[in-house]
Amino acid sequence: MEEKEGKNSEQEEIFAKAVRAGKRTYFFDIRATRGNDYYLTITESKRQYNEDGTFQYQKHKIFLYKEDFEKFGTALAESFQKVIELKKEQDDQFASKMNKDFTDVRFEELDDQNEKD
């Protein structure tokens, strides 16, 4: 997991969950402050290769405090739903375009035309 930079920079870890997703790993960590309050950190970690072939991890971190959980959760759920809707619209547009670009050929029609010739 991620390295600790020192006792004071990282508060007590209560829960940790890692999610591997292709070239990225997401870490969800619940921590406690000195005042025994809780917050969530979400870290995206991605391996980046240097020109010499060595690698390092590029990390991005979000701190989410409990007073923002509900609003964050609602916005995240709405965002997921919007992506699903947009994907469906995109798929429907593609299917519609495919239907317009190709002629609907019925084999019965070909047989009827061969009999006439």
C-alpha distances (whole Å) from 105 to each of 16, 38, 75, 83, 100 are 57, 64, 47, 35, 13
Q: How far apart are the C-alpha atoms of 28 and 21, rounded to whole Å?
A: 13
Higher pLDDT, 64 or 4: 64
Q: Is 85 contained in some domain?
A: yes
| 56 phi/psi in degrees, rounded to 5 | -140, 165
Tokens 């990225």, located at residue = 24
Residue-wise pLDDT tens digits, 26-35: 999 999 988 8
3 DSSP 8-state letter: P
**Domain extent at residue 41:** 12-116
Tokens 């317009």, located at residue = 100
Q: Is 108 contained in some domain?
A: yes
Q: Is 34 contained in some domain?
A: yes
Yes or no: say if 6 and 24 are a contact pair by the CB < 8 Å rule: no
pLDDT at residue 1 in the model: 41
Q: What CATH code is carried by the domain that includes residue 40?
A: 3.10.450.700
pLDDT of 3 above 50: no
Q: Is 3 contained in some domain?
A: no
Give how many domains the chain has, as a whole number. 1
Using only C-alpha atoms, the chain has a radius of gyration, in whole angstroms, of 26
Region 110-117 average pLDDT: 59
Q: Is 106 contained in some domain?
A: yes
Q: Is 5 contained in some domain?
A: no
116 DSSP 8-state letter: H
Q: Is 18 contained in some domain?
A: yes
Q: Is 7 contained in some domain?
A: no
Yes or no: say if 74 and 82 are a contact pair by the CB < 8 Å rule: no
